[in-house]
Structure 1
Amino acid sequence: MAQINGHVEAEQPLGSTRHIRIVGIGAGASGLNLIRTLRLNLSDYEVVVYEKNADVGGTWLENRYPGCRCDVPSHSYQFSWRQKKDWPNFFSGAEDIREYLCRICDEEGMRDSIKTSHQVVSAQWDEKDGRWELVVRDLETGEEFGDYATFLVNGTGFLNTWKWPAVNGLDSFQGRLIHTARWSKDFDHTSKTIAVIGNGSSGIQVLPELQPGAEKLYHVFRTPTWVLPPRIQMWKVMGQAGEILSKIQMDAQENFSQETIDRLQSDPEFYREFVKKVEMEVNNAFPVVLANSPVQAFARAKVTEYMTLMLGGDQELCKALIPDFPLGCRRMTPGHGYLQALTKPNVEVRRSDIKRVVPEGIELASGEVLKVDAIVCATGFDTSFCPRFPIIGRDGNLQDKWRKETPKAYMSCAVAGLPNYFMLFGPNGPIGHGSVFTLAEHIAKYITSVIEKCQTESVKAVVPSAAAVDDYFEHITAFMPRTTWAAPGGRSWFKNGRPDGPVTALHPGSRIHFFHMLERFRGEDWEYVYLGGGGNRFGYLGNGFSTKELDPRGDTTWYLDL
């Protein structure tokens, strides 16, 4: 380093990098994609991803209940850089997705960068050294050790921390208590009386799997939900994928025929057209949730008609199950066989609050006691965004702040007061906007571009300004009433399980809107601390030479080729 009149200049050419250490948290889809994105765009770095589970896969490793599957089409629910042409079903099951992720991890040689059965238990920002000081626990040995990160990337996911229902007496139940996110392989439901609590996506999927073998099944929930017709059916009638879908052969369970799989594998043009048309349909979902729009009204009428038909016109079931709030206020879920299962003689529906759990079963708000052998809790996850471990930045512990205040983030991926800290699918991210795979690709590219800027421009610490985060939140607050997501009445994880309140889980716009927003880094929204005693932002300009001219294999006249 050379110093002239207090200005520190780096004795290196423009474009030089400094060595950095990146720590990722979570080896689900986001964590695996992060490793690949870093490999493609950075040099002179090291990365480790800590994963609490014994293997990679994230939510698709943890959720293995009967009927567990994705409600985004298989050929959209994959990385653009790792296409799988032999998905067996239009909507993939959990095991197929987990195998897909594990295969990527192995074939891309990612396991050397991942430490499974390791959990980050605390992170504290060190202003002097410009890095995160971490405490990590080896879950196999119980030992804790320290680590550090120049940049910390949290990819733990949104629907990750599962929770029991908030009811009294849960521990008093003398039968079998199961959560869908921790399914017991040894549970045999045949000839048992079972209560399924909750009608989110997991409840809608698991119930028709349990119904045929159960002696009796009670379905208990507080709030109705919109159950969509088969999307293939809708897209064939009113979507842009109708023509290509007419060439796809599937059975009643939406399994592809072998002939279709063979054609998708052997005909690149057919495969590309199919994938792009399906992706287009996924991208076109946003107009449905615009409040009071003609699209909303039309779709609501059609879904009401479908649900009524599937419930056999039963007035009591229709009253209990068809919402009076707008379509999209809660997550819209396709339910293969769910509504039909509710009409079976061994199923009884109870739309009710639970007063408490008693040793023999569930006591409802009415005082009725449902005596059951097993309780299946399809009660979802902690959707508060509050971190599972202390993250202590310039303004204290983020846990304390987000327990008291509505979580706020910059474009869902950074937080004021937490330098060099990034998230995938943080507050007001696009978690309900289709495939998280391609969404994670865009977010990882954005995060990596910020890291590269810091690495090559002598930036010690970067953080979004509080003013920028507040302005972004103000925009979200003003925009959300345009959507049915913000409509009162329906309890939703979009609003952290409340019937009303701020929408914290969704991006204020369409999927394409989110992609477009992340195309350009708005440097004016960020605050910087620079390396070197003088802290001059142009110290990285260095010794007057550029790395572009010092590489003997480089082309110093590249600009003539543009």
Structure 2
Amino acid sequence: MTADTRPTIAIIGTGFGGIGMAAQLTQAGYDDFVIFEKADDVGGVWRDNEYPGAECDVPSHLYSFSFAPKPDWSRRFAGQQEIVGYLNECADRFDLRRNIRFGTEVLNATFDESAGEWELELNGEQTHRAQILIAATGQLSRPAYPRIDGIDSFSGTMFHSATWDHDYEFEGKRVAVIGTGASAIQFVPHIAHRAAGLELFQRHAPHVIDKPDYPYRRSVIAAFKRFPTLLKASRLATYAWLEPRGLGFNGSKSGRLLISVFEKRYLRSLKKQIADPELRRKVTPTDPMGCKRILMSNDYYPALVREHVDVVTDGIERIEPSGVVTVDGKLHEVDAIVLGTGFAATEFLAPMTVTGLGGEDLNEAWRDGAQAYLGIAVAGFPNFFMLYGPNTNLSHNSIVYMLESQFAYIVDAVREIDRSAGRWLTVRQDVEDAYNADIQAQLGTTVWATGCDGWYTTASGKNTQNWPGFTFKYRSATREFDPNAYAAPGATHA
């Protein structure tokens, strides 16, 4: 293709995936793209999750783009507002706002085989066409609401952590929190500090380890600004500190030994923070460490020992207008219910409908659980690429590192489409199936396959979320786009 006929590209989402992908396409000379964002600003999951205490559990120097370093992070683990600010800075640095259509949601995407283009149905009865479609909607974009009888009958205030009600005054109120996941362990201390009473409804106790967080001194920030190599060294050191932890999840003998060391350290810390044996029993996990996401907090356990805080381990039977009824028949009367129940992580791309060759619905193709070649491409869906797709989630390192691997791969794919005069490409079914058979075989030996009930797996037990190895292996697998893994049965008619 000539410079005037470069492939047209549509990107969905302006979180780390969408902003980073657009920046890399721009730097590669491909600027004929539109980014669709249903909200009115950039930020993705970090824009939406503005509950009190929201912060990252990956050090800031690694939870940022290598091609857009930020020397002035205020602390080792950045908070939500600072991360959103960083994404806004990146949008401005790479002049991306001119390409973003805010307040525009992609409802459906259908591949037009005769034209070799994706036709997008947008809100407001709008449409858009592009030769290449890149979904950067992430795995944590849709709040998961619990299916509890009577949940709609509650007469008090109820909201999900991803849709926080900042106008609600917790002072003097009795509050129920349902869920003890990554969001809950961050906002529970803030509610406990303000509410008159807090009941925390817990199904399974999480592992919550100490967070080695601290603010950066002004002299240190000045050094990072003056000597960029120091910032690079900090990023590399952080990576080297985190990456070996991947060994603890792979199920090997050395991995089990490593995780046992972490578990012993965790139990010592738990005993130090919670003296009451009954409360400590309640919050001691029964699942193997690492089977579910390991959480980090320095104020979660101290919040639970407050006199007006109670951890409830009896299951919830139903919700009534005045509160929560547990299976023992007890009514827990509360003024507000806060849902810390996470996200519909295994429902990739929903509620958007994606239709490929022969009218195939992607949701139907994924009826047995989502899968994709390299977590990026799906057979029968030409010129369609995903960021943070199936089996690319991590438990030990930065997802931004994984995203950068995907950026490079997709840019290479765009170059291949460009070189081939716009012929559309779809990954071969046999290649996708062989790749995913290998991924699932590897996952079968990991700690995630030990039977715990978490958001990594579908209802049938298939792990559609996690990458089973080291991140440098994923980078090696995505280092170069291999045209031989793809079929090119059609061409655009532009």
**1:283 is matched with which residue?**
243
Matches within 5 A, 1:179-218: 179-218=160-199
Change (3 A) 1:352 1:526: farther
Q: CA deviation at 1:400?
A: 3.0
**1:308 is matched with which residue?**
271
Distance in 1 (CA, whole Å) between partners of 2:440 and 2:228 is 44
Distance in 2 (CA, whole Å) between partners of 1:532 and 1:120 is 22
Matches within 5 A, 1:65-80: 65-80=51-66
Q: CA deviation at 1:431?
A: 4.3
Q: Is contact 1:461-1:528 (8 Å) kept?
A: yes
Distance in 2 (CA, whole Å) between partners of 1:28 and 1:78 is 12
Change (3 A) 1:268 1:179: same
**2:380 is matched with which residue?**
417
Please list the CA deviations of residues 137-171 of structure 1 after superposition, one character each: whole Å capped at 9, or x if unmatched: 1xxxxx21111110000001110011221111111
Q: Is contact 1:67-1:206 (8 Å) kept?
A: yes
**2:37 is matched with which residue?**
51
Matches within 5 A, 1:323-362: 323-362=285-324
**1:140 is matched with which residue?**
none
Q: Is contact 2:250-2:469 (8 Å) kept?
A: no
Distance in 2 (CA, whole Å) between partners of 1:214 and 1:288 is 38
The answer to which of 206-215 and 269-278 deviates more is 269-278
Paired positions, count? 488
Letter in 2 for 1:273: A
Matches within 5 A, 1:285-300: 285-291=245-251, 292=253, 293-300=256-263
**1:118 is matched with which residue?**
104
Letter in 2 for 1:101: L
Change (3 A) 1:296 1:17: farther
**1:549 is matched with which residue?**
none
Matches within 5 A, 1:392-403: 392-395=355-358, 396-402=360-366
Matches within 5 A, 1:77-156: 77-137=63-123, 143-156=124-137
Q: CA deviation at 1:435?
A: 2.2
Distance in 1 (CA, whole Å) between partners of 2:224 and 2:467 is 33
Letter in 2 for 1:199: T
Distance in 2 (CA, whole Å) between partners of 1:290 and 1:278 is 21
Q: Is contact 1:385-1:427 (8 Å) kept?
A: no
Q: Is contact 2:424-2:492 (8 Å) kept?
A: no
Q: Structure 1: 5+ residue runs without aligned partners?
A: 1-11, 138-142, 233-252, 534-562
Distance in 1 (CA, whole Å) between partners of 2:137 and 2:492 is 34
Q: CA deviation at 1:471?
A: 0.9
Distance in 2 (CA, whole Å) between partners of 1:203 and 1:93 is 15
Please list the CA deviations of residues 16-64 of structure 1 after superposition, one character each: whole Å capped at 9, or x if unmatched: 8843210000011111111111112244x61000001111111111000
**2:140 is matched with which residue?**
159
Distance in 2 (CA, whole Å) between partners of 1:373 and 1:532 is 59
Change (3 A) 1:532 1:493: closer
Please list the CA deviations of residues 416-473 of structure 1 after superposition, one character each: whole Å capped at 9, or x if unmatched: 1111100001111134453232322220110110111011123521111111111112
- RMSD (Å), alpha carbons: 1.9
Distance in 2 (CA, whole Å) between partners of 1:192 and 1:434 is 39
Matches within 5 A, 1:527-546: 527-531=487-491
Distance in 1 (CA, whole Å) between partners of 2:99 and 2:322 is 48
Give identity over the alignment, percent: 28
Distance in 1 (CA, whole Å) between partners of 2:190 and 2:394 is 26
Q: Is contact 2:7-2:417 (8 Å) kept?
A: no
**1:274 is matched with which residue?**
234
Distance in 1 (CA, whole Å) between partners of 2:492 and 2:179 is 56
**1:259 is matched with which residue?**
219
Distance in 1 (CA, whole Å) between partners of 2:407 and 2:492 is 28
Letter in 2 for 1:161: R
**1:5 is matched with which residue?**
none
Distance in 2 (CA, whole Å) between partners of 1:147 and 1:60 is 27
Distance in 1 (CA, whole Å) between partners of 2:385 and 2:17 is 12
Q: CA deviation at 1:269?
A: 4.3
Residue among 24, 41, 51 paired with 2:28: 41
Q: TM-score normalized by structure 2?
A: 0.94
Change (3 A) 1:16 1:110: closer
Residue among 345, 358, 373 paired with 1:383: 345
**1:555 is matched with which residue?**
none
Q: Is contact 2:61-2:231 (8 Å) kept?
A: no
Decide which structure has the larger Cα Rg and report it: 1
Q: Is contact 1:177-1:376 (8 Å) kept?
A: yes
Q: Structure 2: 5+ residue runs without aligned partners?
A: none
